[in-house]
A = this chain, B = another copy of it.
Amino acid sequence: MYLAAQGLALKYPNTANYVFKNLSFKLAEPGFNALFGPSGVGKTSLAKIITGEIHTFSGDIRSKGMQTCLYSYNLERLPGWSSVGKHLEKITPPARRSRRDELISVFGLEELIGKRFSRLSLGQQNRVNLLRYLLQDFHLLIMDESLANVDELTREKIILKIKDMYPEAYFLYISHNVVEVSKLCNEIIVLRGGLKEPSATVVPGRNFMTGQEMERAELEQTMLEIVNASS
């Protein structure tokens, strides 16, 4: 099972510049990977190419065994007619009920499941939304700033839990936090914009797991690599 992009180029109609050009990468192994780069560099656009929402690109995107790619983003909402708990109930396959309860607790949502989605704080909404995706079948889950409005501690707890719980799945995590992606991700696809070639380089992350020791120097090395790659 893999996902590979070869020489992708994208230009929106009526715009002057390429968002990216000659963009290539390969995700060959399951793991928690990041898509990183400055605002406006094309992360969301690449995600939409992968899920098939954008067709007007050139180049090649190939995958094997990766039938189900889910794309989640931070502006999604749940319908307003019943509580978060009831909605989760409905979209959880029976076999995953205990997993759901476990996630609810790790995500810090126990006290909120009786509430309507619209009454939640922004970070709470982020978490509820991501949680429901994790209960679905997927081979690849793209998380487009899915935790952007959550505090750092909770975020790390959540990511670590996901890594423990889904060793066989592929993740593509879009975030603007260098420390976080350096520390937690397996590979970091750093986008560099359409003016540079290649438009992307892949930096190996520290891929920190629950309970591991973390070498500060190594982490800083990775962060530096990422910063260098994007500039």
Contacts and interface: CB of A to CB of B under 8 A. Distances in A.
A145 B119 contact: no
26 contacts: A16-B111, A38-B123, A38-B151, A38-B153, A38-B154, A39-B108, A39-B124, A39-B126, A39-B127, A39-B149, A39-B150, A39-B151, A39-B154, A40-B108, A40-B112, A40-B123, A43-B121, A44-B122, A74-B149, A75-B75, A122-B145, A123-B176, A148-B148, A152-B177, A155-B176, A179-B179
Interface string A63-94: 00000000000110000000000000000000
Nearest to A176: B151
Per DSSP, chain A at the interface is: loop
Copies of the chain in the assembly: 2
A152 B178 contact: yes
A226 to B, nearest CB: 11
A122 B39 contact: yes
Nearest to A121: B40
Contacts of A176: 123, 149-152, 155
